[in-house]
Structure formats: C-alpha cells, structure tokens
Structure 1
Amino acid sequence: MSDPQAHWLQDGKRLHLNHGPIDLIVEAFGEAHECRQAYEQAVARFQTVLPELVEELPELRQPAALRPRAFAGSTAQRMEAAVVPLAKDFITPMAAVAGSVADEMLAAMLAGRKLERAYVNNGGDSAIHLGAGQSMTLAIAGTGHGLADRIVIRAEDGVRGVATSGWRGRSFSLGIADAVTVLARTGAEADAAATLIANAVDLPGHPAIRRVPARDLAPDSDLGDRLVTQEVGRLSSAEIATALDSGLAVAEDFRRRGLIAASALFLAGQTRISGSMALAAPNKSPGKEVAHA
C-alpha cells in the first residue's frame, strides 16, 4: 500500500488526501492562520487513520449487536457507535466507515481552532462544521426528479453529517434505490442510516432485478453471501412506488427515533422525502457547495 498522499487541488483552496480506499476533499473557512493550522492538523491525523482501521478490520466486518463492542481506534469507535442503534437489522460497522472517517478528520481539523465553516467530503459522505449563523449548500445525487439539486444546511439545524447510499454507488446495496441521501447529527450516523434505508427500497424476488452474492464480487466483503444488486430492469410505476414506500417506512422510523433529521429517496424518476430538507434552486443558494453526495 502506498503512503498517505496530500496535495492541493487546482483551485488552491481544497486539500486532497488519499490513502488506499480513503479519498478526501477538505476545505476550511475562516482566518488564514486558523485555516492553515487546521489543514496541518488534518494532514497529521491522516497519516494513521487507515492503519488503525486495518488493525481492527476483522472485527469491524462482524455484525453489530445492541451491546457495543470495545474498539481501540477512535474511528472504529465512531463506526460502532453509529450502527449499534440500528442493530436489530443486519449491519456491520463498515456501513459507517466513510462517514466515520469524515467525522474523525473534521474533529482533527477543529481541535483548538476557530473556523467559520469546514467540511470533509469522503466520496460524497461528508462531515460539516458550521459556526453560529453560518450555512452550507450541498449538491445531492439522485435528482432530476423535479427537485432542485441543492440542499442548504444551517447552523441551527443541528445537521453535521450527510451521506448517500444506493445500488449505483461505490458500495454494495441489498436494495434497488438509485440514491438515498440522509441528513443526521454526524457523518457516521448519516452513513449507517442511508445504508439501511437504501437496503429497504426493494422488491424482493422481482425478476427484473439481478443480484449476486457479495462474496463473488469481493471475497472479503462484510456482506458475505448476501445478495447485492447489480442491475435493475424495467419496473412499473406501481412497483417503483411500492419499493420507495418500503424505504420511506424505515426512514420515518429512524426520524421518529431521533436517529436522522431527514432523508430523500430516489428510484426511477420517483422521489420520497422524510423530514424537512431545505431544497434550494440550483446555483442560486447561499453558502458553499460541498459534496456531490
């Protein structure tokens, strides 16, 4: 495995951090010296994030239970904490790995610093910091359904994490959602919840859906022999609605339990919204676009 890499993107404002499967875009806003030190802290913390996870990877791939396990690494602890409240269904801490890494890196940036705003975008799963009175605009996936493709997060909303899951994404999904975007208190919580909501957008046994065992695609997958979606064929409008309503029921349950703030579910031109998502007109909203979640 190559060593951790850090370099500035072409705009000179965003820092790109890469190490193996972890690929981050980081940006801070505020006084120049505060931002400079925040970036230095991010680079320093990034040196050991992946090695720490690798040390505990076998246990992180095991299903969560209602009683949390003790992990040594702080990122692994974040992963476990995010999935334990969801453990009545099958879920492993790996469902929260991207959001947890984003949270961990953001915490490193903020330690001792005074920043107006900041974000860590881990492939679309993001952790955000907003000072008093601040807001941030995020681009979301799965639109083109008559909705604007931007959401505005304000400091007073209490949302500090956004994540997206679905069968078209970089991770495996048991469901057929094109995309499910979740807003929550942390990136880890958003990541874990998005995984389960996307899994629930489904039509079990439908002949137009092609699935294969996760192990056939990735022998070390935490999903083992569970069938993951590889292709979704033509579905009727009623079938699409049925699948989305199944996911919406899970999203509403999570929202009632205080596990998420809001979610948007997308499948084949139809949409379901749970909770309040401030949808902004494209390219006309305040704040800073942060993530194509």
Structure 2
Amino acid sequence: MSAVAARLGDGRLHLQHGPIDLIVEAFGASDEVERGYGQAIARFGDILQRLAAELPTLRRPVGDAWPLLHGPVARRMAEAVWPHRVVYITPMAAVAGAVADEMLEALIRGRTLDKAYVNDGGDIAFHLAPGQELRAGIFVAALDGMARLTADRPVRGIATSGWGGRSFSLGIADSVTVLARTAAAADAAATLIANAVNVDHPGIDRRPARDLDPDSDLGDLPVTVAVGRLPPELIDEALDRGADEAHRLRAGRHIHGAALSLQGKWRIEAPAILESACAI
C-alpha cells in the first residue's frame, strides 16, 4: 500500500501509510500554508520504507555503542534514546515522536508560518513563531487538562504513554504526558516515566511482550495488559515512583514537564507549563 494524502473537511492535512497516521495543520498566509503542505506530502513518501529497512537495529536495545542507523528518522530516534541507554530502551521508544519531528521540519522549511503542528497519534511536534502559542489537551477518559505551549519556552514536542496506549508499557500508568525540546525526546521520556509508574498487585495482569507481538522490541519483558482497581496507597506509591523519574529527567534537562495519571490521581512535574492539568 502506498502513502495516502488527503485534506479533511476543516482543511487539515491527513497523511497515512501503514501504521503511520498523521494530522498536520499550519497557520499563516494561505499560500504559505499550501506550500508547506506540499512540502510535507513530498517528504512523507519514503518515511515508512526507510524505517522498515532498519527495523532490526531499531528494535535492538541501545548499549555502549551508538547504533549504526542511516535514515534521518532513525537517527532522530537514536538521538532521543541515547541519553537513557543505562536502562533497557530501544530506538522504537521514540518512533512516533521522531516521525512527527521530521515531518514538521519538512512542513516549515523555508516557509513563513505563524504556527504549525504534526500529530502522530498523540505525539506532537510543533512550530511557534515569536508571540504565538498553542494549547494541547491532556486526555485520559475525557479532557483532563491543558498544556499551554508558548514560543518563549524551549518546548517543541509533546508525547503521551501508558499501559492502554498504542505501544506496550512495563508500567501501569493510565497516561504520562511529557513536554520536551522535541517530540522524539518527549516520546522516549514518556515511555520511561510510564514504565516507572509501577507496583506489584494481584490485580495487575502482565504477559511477555513476545507473546502479544512476536516482533516486539521488548522481547520477553512482561508488559501490562490489564490493571484492576488498586488500593489508594498503591496508587500513590506507583505515582510517586513515576514522579521521581520525571523529576530526575527534568533535573537532567531531558524534559520540561510531565503529568502522570493513575486511576483518577495525578502527579505534576512543572505545573507552570501544564497549567490546567488535572484541575490544579
């Protein structure tokens, strides 16, 4: 199946190829927006093929040696996970964010746009001209909060992870939303923080990733497939562990903020950015 590009009824651009499904929107003069969309469409054609060609390396845990990757999206993935190589992480932890970053760069190159974003299934790369801002909703069961993204802050990526999302998780977070310098960096960090939101309890069902997907980069690691109702003290313990990881990553300047949720409770790292998250 080849890549598909279509305009939605509200004017946004929809790009889809296999598992990659993007919503793209730009704001500014109409001719600049249309040229940007044309650039994005032209760039999208070989994204999936080039990633597929390097899948064996992309699914391999990062170790002491920099992974030998050639495609621009694959290199973005490696760059995003490299700072976290002391734990089990593969470049696939940053794939959605890296695609969003690459497509945003194609969209805005040489264009004069007020703002723009590329949304890859909730992992979002965005552009803001001076004085511009965007607001991004934080969703779990409903709209639970809002992140205010302004041009004067260095945040240009947002990503969400959790056990019920598109990718497997070692933890039990309902959601972890992270703000970072790039979408790929946010994607990798959200994975790590979501993994850290964790406790043991009979109501948590885990299975080897390979049993659910023989091609999973997590191999035999136990991933979460169901989370029953937990006692309040265990919810707090799990969230505290995730919050500690978020604080560590923020202290190391890998992220700028995070919102963690589990069964109706929240922890916030950098509430000034996640200004309306979880009713703070």
**Does TM, scored on the shorter chain, surpass 0.5?**
yes
Question: Relative to 1, partners in 2 of residues 1:157 and 1:143: Cα closer, same or farther, differing over 3 Å?
Answer: farther
**Distance in 2 between the 1:224 and 1:119 partners?**
33
AA aligned to 2:9 is: Q
Aligned to 2:257: 262
- Percent identity between matched residues is 54
Aligned to 1:70: 68
Greater RCO, 1 or 2 (C-alpha within 8 Å, sep 6+): 1
**Distance in 2 between the 1:269 and 1:148 partners?**
10
Aligned length: 277
Which of 262, 269, 273 in structure 2 is aligned with 1:274?
Answer: 269
Aligned to 1:172: 168
Verify: 1:152 aligned to 2:151, yes or no.
Answer: no
Question: Relative to 1, partners in 2 of residues 1:185 and 1:252: Cα closer, same or farther, differing over 3 Å?
Answer: same
Identify unmatched segments of 5+ residues in structure 1. 283-293
TM-superposed deviation, 1:133: 0.5
Aligned to 2:199: 203
TM-superposed deviation, 1:140: 1.1
Q: How large is the Cα RMSD of the aligned pairs?
A: 1.5
AA aligned to 1:227 is: P
Question: Relative to 1, partners in 2 of residues 1:148 and 1:213: Cα closer, same or farther, differing over 3 Å?
Answer: closer
AA aligned to 1:176 is: I
Secondary structure of the 2:70 match is coil
Secondary structure of the 2:152 match is helix
Aligned to 2:8: 9
TM-superposed deviation, 1:159: 0.6
Is the 2:173–2:261 Cα contact (8 Å) retained in structure 1? yes
AA aligned to 1:265 is: L
Aligned to 1:31: 29
The range that moved more, 106-115 or 272-281, is 272-281
AA aligned to 2:42 is: A
Identify unmatched segments of 5+ residues in structure 2. none
**Distance in 2 between the 1:188 and 1:171 partners?**
15
TM-superposed deviation, 1:71: 1.2
Q: Where do 1:51-66 residues align within 5 Å? A: 51-66=49-64
Verify: 1:247 aligned to 2:242, yes or no.
Answer: yes
Is the 1:67–1:84 Cα contact (8 Å) retained in structure 2? no
Is the 1:26–1:119 Cα contact (8 Å) retained in structure 2? yes
Instruction: Name segments (4+ residues, structure 1) moved above 6 Å.
Output: none
Aligned to 2:227: 232
Aligned to 2:159: 163
**Distance in 1 between the 2:40 and 2:66 partners?**
28
**Distance in 2 between the 1:281 and 1:100 partners?**
25
Secondary structure of the 1:279 match is coil
